[in-house]
């Protein structure tokens, strides 16, 4: 049994893999050109869940996808977006998780 890597109420289950946003946040700075402004978008394609990481900056999406898979064991889609693109609340706080499976 592995140690808890983040708050259990923040945990996402993607294709049977427990993923904590903090795990992804920890690897983003390892890719030059990316900022820590990110959002996780969870969708369901048929019966399979898919996780997309939207991160601001100009770094290598493939490198971040590789690091996330290495860290979590789950394949993700990475989209590098221009600075200021990740949605924020009225107070300016980043919206970290956007779960579209519930809609």
The number of folded domains in the chain is 1
State the CATH number of the domain containing residue 61: 3.30.300.30
Residue ranges of alpha helices (H) inside 2-101 are 21-27, 61-72
Cβ neighbours for 68, distance < 8 A, ≥ 6 positions apart: 23, 24, 27, 53, 74, 76, 78
Domain enclosing residue 84, as ranges: 8-102
94 belongs to a structural domain? yes
Question: What global pTM score does this model have?
Answer: 0.86
- Cα dist from 85 to 37, 67, 89, 92, 102, whole Å: 9, 22, 12, 12, 23
Query: Tens of pLDDT along 1-45?
Result: 454 454 545 899 999 999 999 999 999 999 999 999 999 999 998
- Res 79: pLDDT: 98
């Amino acid at each position: 049994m592995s140690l808890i890597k983040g708050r259990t109420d923040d945990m996402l289950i993607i294709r049977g893999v427990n993923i904590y946003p903090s795990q992804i946040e920890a690897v983003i700075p390892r890719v030059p050109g990316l900022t820590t402004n990110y959002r996780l978008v969870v969708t369901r394609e048929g019966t399979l869940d898919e996780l997309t990481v939207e991160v601001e900056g100009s770094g290598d999406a493939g490198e971040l996808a590789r690091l996330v898979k290495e860290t979590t064991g789950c394949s993700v889609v990475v989209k590098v977006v221009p600075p200021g693109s990740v949605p924020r609340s009225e107070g300016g706080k980043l919206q970290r998780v956007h779960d579209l499976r519930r809609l």
